[in-house]
Amino acid sequence: MPDPAHPKIARPDHEILDVIRDRWSPRAFDADRDVADADLRTLFEAARWAPSSRNEQPWRFVVARRRQSPDAFAAMLATLTRKNQAWAAVVPVLLVVAVRTTHEIDDLVNSHAWYDAGQAVAFLTLQATAQGLSTRQMQGFDPAAVRAACHMPALYEPAIVMAVGYAGDPSRLAIEYHRTDEASPRSRRAIREFVYADIWDNPLP
């Protein structure tokens, strides 16, 4: 259970599930604590049950574990930007999330594939939070390098690279603004800024 006084624990305006309130994206991970096989499989079980258009389930995950498959992990780490590499080198697990952009059933474009994959990742991140794990999703990577490192088929597009592990000590982060960000409270738009009643820009009462 996270410390309720931690700056990254959400302060919602309305009551929400604990896993939503407690979920946040650290850069500081515990280098000495691995993720158990059973815990990792549970994350993918959660992703498995996300809804998708025509039940296509257009998401795929490629897993690289730092201790169990160091060469694959190093190859995946090398696809990240230098700033991401600075903190991600110690995480126990890196995941590539890939999306199939056409329907398997008829090869037509799946215009909802990215939306559906996002739901699977959301399910995974909330499950991770429930298990005491932390995740951080990264868009700072080289897509061509990820594709090559994972031997990704042409039918799939890399969406994100995700770090999975246990939150660690922010003071060990090499970049100063990363350390500062770990201690800064989270913020979000107010509901009235993105939910409208009846017509656009008419805030929900």
Residue 203 lies in a domain: no
| Residue 79 and residue 146 in contact, taking contact as beta carbons nearer than 8 Å | yes
Q: Please give the structure tokens belonging to residue 143.
A: 């897509």
How many domains is the chain partitioned into structurally?
1
- Under the banding of pLDDT at 50, 70 and 90, the label for residue 4 is confident
Tell me: the pLDDT tens digits for 139-185? Answer: 999 999 999 999 999 999 999 999 999 999 999 999 999 999 999 99
CATH number at residue 125: 3.40.109.10
Q: Supply the mean pLDDT for the chain.
A: 96
| Residue 26 pLDDT exceeds 80 | yes
| Residue 118 and residue 51 in contact, taking contact as beta carbons nearer than 8 Å | no
Tell me: the pLDDT tens digits for 53-104? Answer: 999 999 999 999 999 999 999 999 999 999 999 999 999 999 999 999 999 9
Q: Which domain holds residue 137?
A: 25-177
Q: Which amino acid makes up residue 179?
A: R
Give CA–CA dist 9/59, Å, rounded: 29
| pTM confidence score | 0.95
Residue 37 lies in a domain: yes
Q: What is the DSSP letter of 35?
A: P
Give CA–CA dist 16/81, Å, rounded: 34
Predicted pLDDT of residue 1: 62
- Under the banding of pLDDT at 50, 70 and 90, the label for residue 5 is confident
Give CA–CA dist 20/8, Å, rounded: 12
Residues in the chain, total: 205
SS3 track for 172-190: HCCCHHHHHHHCCCCCCCC
Tell me: the pLDDT tens digits for 109-120? Answer: 999 999 999 999
Q: Which amino acid makes up residue 137?
A: Q
Give CA–CA dist 27/120, Å, rounded: 22
